[in-house]
Chains A and B, each alone.
Chain A
Amino acid sequence: MSATTIDRPPAAEFAEQPAEKKPEVAEKLVIFAWSGELDKIWPTLILATTGAAMGKETTVFFTFWGLFPLVKNQVRITGENWMQKMLSTMNRGGDEHLKLSKMNVVGAGPAMMNHLAKEHHVASPHELMEMAKELGVHLVPCQMTMDLLGLKREDLIDGLDEPAGATMALAEAQGAITLFI
Protein backbone atom coordinates (compact mmCIF):
# COMPACT_ATOMS: atom_id res chain seq x y z
CA MET A 1 0.00 0.00 0.00
CA SER A 2 2.64 2.42 1.03
CA ALA A 3 4.60 1.61 -2.15
CA THR A 4 1.84 2.96 -4.38
CA THR A 5 1.54 6.22 -2.49
CA ILE A 6 5.29 6.77 -2.72
CA ASP A 7 5.46 5.82 -6.39
CA ARG A 8 2.75 8.06 -7.70
CA PRO A 9 3.95 11.57 -7.06
CA PRO A 10 7.30 11.22 -8.86
CA ALA A 11 5.60 9.40 -11.74
CA ALA A 12 3.16 12.27 -12.11
CA GLU A 13 6.00 14.76 -12.03
CA PHE A 14 7.86 12.93 -14.78
CA ALA A 15 4.74 12.81 -16.89
CA GLU A 16 4.20 16.53 -16.55
CA GLN A 17 7.71 17.74 -17.25
CA PRO A 18 8.20 16.69 -20.86
CA ALA A 19 4.68 17.78 -21.76
CA GLU A 20 5.43 21.19 -20.30
CA LYS A 21 8.92 21.56 -21.70
CA LYS A 22 8.64 20.21 -25.21
CA PRO A 23 6.37 22.73 -26.93
CA GLU A 24 8.12 25.65 -25.25
CA VAL A 25 11.43 25.97 -27.12
CA ALA A 26 13.51 23.93 -29.48
CA GLU A 27 17.14 24.27 -28.46
CA LYS A 28 18.43 24.53 -32.00
CA LEU A 29 17.70 26.44 -35.18
CA VAL A 30 18.95 25.26 -38.56
CA ILE A 31 18.40 27.34 -41.69
CA PHE A 32 19.11 26.06 -45.16
CA ALA A 33 20.08 29.19 -47.10
CA TRP A 34 19.44 28.18 -50.69
CA SER A 35 18.61 31.61 -52.13
CA GLY A 36 21.28 34.22 -52.70
CA GLU A 37 19.01 37.19 -53.18
CA LEU A 38 18.95 40.27 -50.98
CA ASP A 39 15.33 39.80 -49.94
CA LYS A 40 15.95 36.19 -48.89
CA ILE A 41 19.43 36.38 -47.37
CA TRP A 42 18.27 39.35 -45.29
CA PRO A 43 15.51 37.49 -43.40
CA THR A 44 17.79 34.46 -43.20
CA LEU A 45 20.36 36.49 -41.29
CA ILE A 46 17.73 38.27 -39.19
CA LEU A 47 16.33 34.91 -38.08
CA ALA A 48 19.78 33.42 -37.51
CA THR A 49 20.99 36.29 -35.31
CA THR A 50 17.69 36.35 -33.43
CA GLY A 51 17.81 32.59 -32.88
CA ALA A 52 21.29 32.92 -31.40
CA ALA A 53 20.10 35.84 -29.25
CA MET A 54 17.34 33.57 -27.94
CA GLY A 55 19.99 31.13 -26.80
CA LYS A 56 19.46 28.59 -29.55
CA GLU A 57 22.42 26.84 -31.09
CA THR A 58 22.06 28.21 -34.59
CA THR A 59 23.43 26.90 -37.87
CA VAL A 60 23.04 28.31 -41.36
CA PHE A 61 23.88 25.86 -44.12
CA PHE A 62 24.64 27.80 -47.30
CA THR A 63 24.01 25.92 -50.51
CA PHE A 64 23.55 26.69 -54.23
CA TRP A 65 22.74 30.38 -54.80
CA GLY A 66 23.00 30.91 -51.06
CA LEU A 67 26.77 30.45 -51.30
CA PHE A 68 27.39 33.57 -53.34
CA PRO A 69 26.66 36.02 -50.49
CA LEU A 70 29.60 34.38 -48.66
CA VAL A 71 32.05 35.40 -51.38
CA LYS A 72 34.34 38.23 -50.29
CA ASN A 73 33.02 41.55 -51.57
CA GLN A 74 36.30 42.38 -53.30
CA VAL A 75 36.48 39.07 -55.18
CA ARG A 76 35.07 39.59 -58.66
CA ILE A 77 35.51 36.44 -60.73
CA THR A 78 35.47 32.96 -59.25
CA GLY A 79 35.78 29.53 -60.85
CA GLU A 80 38.27 27.42 -62.76
CA ASN A 81 36.63 26.90 -66.13
CA TRP A 82 34.71 29.24 -68.45
CA MET A 83 31.30 28.06 -67.22
CA GLN A 84 32.07 28.75 -63.57
CA LYS A 85 33.67 32.08 -64.50
CA MET A 86 30.64 33.09 -66.55
CA LEU A 87 28.41 32.17 -63.62
CA SER A 88 30.27 34.54 -61.30
CA THR A 89 30.30 37.26 -63.99
CA MET A 90 26.52 37.14 -64.26
CA ASN A 91 25.92 36.51 -60.55
CA ARG A 92 28.42 38.55 -58.59
CA GLY A 93 29.11 37.29 -55.08
CA GLY A 94 29.41 39.24 -51.83
CA ASP A 95 26.90 40.43 -49.26
CA GLU A 96 27.13 43.96 -50.65
CA HIS A 97 26.22 42.96 -54.20
CA LEU A 98 22.93 41.16 -53.68
CA LYS A 99 20.02 41.42 -56.08
CA LEU A 100 16.30 41.50 -55.33
CA SER A 101 14.17 38.52 -56.36
CA LYS A 102 11.65 40.99 -57.76
CA MET A 103 11.82 44.65 -58.81
CA ASN A 104 15.59 44.42 -59.19
CA VAL A 105 15.52 46.91 -62.15
CA VAL A 106 19.23 46.50 -62.98
CA GLY A 107 20.28 47.22 -59.41
CA ALA A 108 18.02 50.22 -58.79
CA GLY A 109 15.77 48.12 -56.52
CA PRO A 110 18.54 47.01 -54.15
CA ALA A 111 19.98 50.54 -54.06
CA MET A 112 16.60 51.90 -52.98
CA MET A 113 16.13 49.08 -50.49
CA ASN A 114 19.54 49.75 -48.92
CA HIS A 115 18.74 53.45 -48.76
CA LEU A 116 15.44 52.75 -46.98
CA ALA A 117 17.18 50.34 -44.59
CA LYS A 118 19.70 53.00 -43.60
CA GLU A 119 16.93 55.53 -43.09
CA HIS A 120 15.03 53.13 -40.82
CA HIS A 121 18.15 51.93 -38.96
CA VAL A 122 17.75 48.39 -40.20
CA ALA A 123 21.01 46.44 -40.07
CA SER A 124 22.34 45.51 -43.53
CA PRO A 125 23.03 41.89 -44.52
CA HIS A 126 26.73 42.65 -44.17
CA GLU A 127 26.30 43.94 -40.61
CA LEU A 128 24.04 41.00 -39.73
CA MET A 129 26.62 38.56 -41.09
CA GLU A 130 29.23 40.09 -38.76
CA MET A 131 26.79 39.95 -35.82
CA ALA A 132 26.00 36.33 -36.59
CA LYS A 133 29.69 35.49 -36.27
CA GLU A 134 29.96 37.40 -32.98
CA LEU A 135 26.91 35.58 -31.62
CA GLY A 136 28.47 32.23 -32.46
CA VAL A 137 26.14 31.27 -35.32
CA HIS A 138 27.63 28.38 -37.28
CA LEU A 139 27.92 29.52 -40.89
CA VAL A 140 28.52 26.37 -42.91
CA PRO A 141 29.20 26.42 -46.64
CA CYS A 142 28.12 23.36 -48.64
CA GLN A 143 31.24 21.60 -49.94
CA MET A 144 29.57 19.99 -52.95
CA THR A 145 28.14 23.27 -54.24
CA MET A 146 31.47 25.00 -53.71
CA ASP A 147 33.07 22.42 -56.02
CA LEU A 148 30.21 22.59 -58.50
CA LEU A 149 30.16 26.38 -58.75
CA GLY A 150 33.92 26.78 -58.54
CA LEU A 151 34.08 28.57 -55.20
CA LYS A 152 37.25 28.02 -53.23
CA ARG A 153 37.63 28.51 -49.48
CA GLU A 154 39.84 31.56 -50.09
CA ASP A 155 37.07 33.16 -52.20
CA LEU A 156 34.79 33.09 -49.15
CA ILE A 157 34.76 35.41 -46.13
CA ASP A 158 36.56 34.62 -42.88
CA GLY A 159 34.80 33.34 -39.78
CA LEU A 160 32.94 30.48 -41.48
CA ASP A 161 32.77 26.94 -40.19
CA GLU A 162 34.47 24.19 -42.17
CA PRO A 163 32.59 23.32 -45.38
CA ALA A 164 30.36 20.30 -44.88
CA GLY A 165 27.80 18.09 -46.53
CA ALA A 166 24.10 17.24 -46.38
CA THR A 167 24.60 14.61 -43.69
CA MET A 168 26.15 17.08 -41.28
CA ALA A 169 23.32 19.55 -42.01
CA LEU A 170 20.60 16.96 -41.45
CA ALA A 171 22.28 15.60 -38.34
CA GLU A 172 22.36 19.14 -36.97
CA ALA A 173 18.69 19.56 -37.92
CA GLN A 174 17.56 16.70 -35.67
CA GLY A 175 15.26 18.15 -33.03
CA ALA A 176 15.81 21.67 -34.34
CA ILE A 177 13.54 24.27 -35.87
CA THR A 178 14.36 24.01 -39.57
CA LEU A 179 13.80 26.57 -42.28
CA PHE A 180 14.55 26.40 -45.98
CA ILE A 181 14.90 29.87 -47.44
Chain B
Amino acid sequence: MSITIATSLDLKGLSCPLPIIKTATAMKRLAPGEMLEAFATDPGSVPDFKAWAKATGNPLVQSDDSAGVFHFVLQKKES
Protein backbone atom coordinates (compact mmCIF):
# COMPACT_ATOMS: atom_id res chain seq x y z
CA MET B 1 0.00 0.00 0.00
CA SER B 2 1.42 3.38 -0.90
CA ILE B 3 0.72 6.40 1.24
CA THR B 4 0.43 9.88 -0.23
CA ILE B 5 1.61 12.54 2.17
CA ALA B 6 -0.06 15.95 1.98
CA THR B 7 2.17 17.73 4.49
CA SER B 8 5.57 16.95 5.96
CA LEU B 9 6.75 18.54 9.22
CA ASP B 10 10.31 18.77 10.48
CA LEU B 11 10.07 18.89 14.26
CA LYS B 12 13.61 17.71 14.95
CA GLY B 13 15.20 19.38 17.99
CA LEU B 14 11.90 20.64 19.38
CA SER B 15 10.72 19.72 22.87
CA CYS B 16 7.31 19.21 24.45
CA PRO B 17 4.78 20.65 23.77
CA LEU B 18 5.94 22.10 20.43
CA PRO B 19 5.85 18.93 18.28
CA ILE B 20 2.18 18.35 19.16
CA ILE B 21 1.19 22.02 18.90
CA LYS B 22 2.74 22.35 15.45
CA THR B 23 1.24 19.05 14.34
CA ALA B 24 -2.23 19.94 15.60
CA THR B 25 -2.06 23.30 13.83
CA ALA B 26 -0.96 21.69 10.56
CA MET B 27 -3.62 18.98 10.81
CA LYS B 28 -6.30 21.66 10.85
CA ARG B 29 -5.39 22.56 7.28
CA LEU B 30 -5.76 18.99 5.95
CA ALA B 31 -8.87 17.68 4.27
CA PRO B 32 -10.47 14.55 5.76
CA GLY B 33 -8.54 11.43 4.75
CA GLU B 34 -5.32 13.30 3.94
CA MET B 35 -2.05 12.28 5.57
CA LEU B 36 0.57 14.23 7.46
CA GLU B 37 4.02 13.00 8.35
CA ALA B 38 6.25 14.39 11.08
CA PHE B 39 9.88 13.86 12.04
CA ALA B 40 10.85 14.46 15.68
CA THR B 41 13.79 13.77 17.97
CA ASP B 42 12.06 14.22 21.33
CA PRO B 43 11.56 10.67 22.72
CA GLY B 44 8.52 11.98 24.60
CA SER B 45 6.82 12.58 21.27
CA VAL B 46 6.30 8.81 20.82
CA PRO B 47 3.72 8.47 23.61
CA ASP B 48 2.46 12.00 22.93
CA PHE B 49 1.61 11.34 19.28
CA LYS B 50 -0.11 8.10 20.27
CA ALA B 51 -2.13 9.90 22.94
CA TRP B 52 -2.98 12.84 20.68
CA ALA B 53 -4.23 10.50 17.97
CA LYS B 54 -6.40 8.63 20.46
CA ALA B 55 -7.77 11.78 22.08
CA THR B 56 -8.61 13.57 18.83
CA GLY B 57 -9.66 10.53 16.78
CA ASN B 58 -7.16 11.16 13.98
CA PRO B 59 -5.56 7.74 13.32
CA LEU B 60 -1.83 7.32 13.81
CA VAL B 61 -1.13 5.24 10.73
CA GLN B 62 2.56 4.76 11.30
CA SER B 63 5.08 5.29 14.09
CA ASP B 64 8.67 4.17 13.72
CA ASP B 65 12.20 5.41 14.24
CA SER B 66 15.59 5.22 12.65
CA ALA B 67 18.88 6.67 13.91
CA GLY B 68 17.23 8.65 16.69
CA VAL B 69 14.60 10.27 14.49
CA PHE B 70 10.98 9.39 15.14
CA HIS B 71 8.66 9.27 12.16
CA PHE B 72 4.90 9.57 12.48
CA VAL B 73 2.11 9.42 9.92
CA LEU B 74 -1.29 10.75 10.92
CA GLN B 75 -4.48 10.66 8.92
CA LYS B 76 -7.06 13.39 9.21
CA LYS B 77 -10.30 11.86 10.46
CA GLU B 78 -13.52 12.01 8.48
CA SER B 79 -15.53 14.77 10.06
Contact = CB atoms under 8 A, between A and B. Distances in A.
Contacts of A120: 15
A55 B18 contact: no
A46 B16 contact: yes
Given A121-B14, A121-B15, A122-B15, A25 B21 contact: no
Majority SS of interface residues in chain B? helix
Given A53-B24, A53-B25, A54-B24, A123 B52 contact: no
Contact of A123 (B18, B24, B25): B18
Interface string A118-158: 00111100000001001100000000000000000000000
Majority SS of interface residues in chain A? loop
Contacts of A122: 15-16
B56 interface: yes
Interface residues of B, number: 14
B13 interface: yes
Contacts of B56: 54-55
Most buried by A among B13, B24, B52: B24
B15 A54 contact: no
B55 interface: yes
Interface of A: 24-25, 46, 49-50, 52-55, 120-123, 131, 134-135
